Structure 1
Amino acid sequence: MFKILAKINKLLLPSFTKQGLDLAKAKKWQLALIGYRFYVTKKALDS
């Protein structure tokens, strides 16, 4: 399930690393999105 969710995230959600986002200047919603993507990616790799 997490592998499918990770693929959907990759297609739909923005990649902040490609945009060169500085984490110190990121807004709260951007940090939440980064945390969500990290969680899903970590779970997809573990399974």
Structure 2
Amino acid sequence: MYKLLAKLNKLLLPSFTKQGLDLAKAKKWQMAIIAWRYFVTTKALDQ
């Protein structure tokens, strides 16, 4: 399930790394997306 979510994240959610976003200046909604992507990615790798 998490591998599917990780693929959907890659397709649908923006990649802030490619945009060069500074985490110190990130807005709360951007931090929420980063946290969600991190959570799903770590769970997908554990399986």
User: If the length of structure 1 is used for normalisation, what is the TM-score?
Assistant: 0.98
- Unpaired runs of 5+ residues, structure 1, are none
- Unpaired runs of 5+ residues, structure 2, are none
Give the secondary structure class of the aligned counterpart of 2:21: coil
Aligned to 2:9: 9
How far apart, CA to CA, are the structure 1 residues paired with 2:2 and 2:41? Answer: 8
How far apart, CA to CA, are the structure 1 residues paired with 2:41 and 2:18? Answer: 17
Aligned to 1:40: 40
- Identity of matched residues, %: 77
How far apart, CA to CA, are the structure 2 residues paired with 1:36 and 1:13? Answer: 10
1:18 lines up with 2:12 in the alignment: no
Q: What's the CA shift string for 1:3-33, capped at 9, x where partnerless?
A: 0000010000000000000000000000010
Aligned to 1:29: 29
Task: Detail structure 1 runs of 4+ shifted over 6 Å in the superposition.
Answer: none
The alignment of Structure 1 onto Structure 2 pairs a total of residues equal to 47
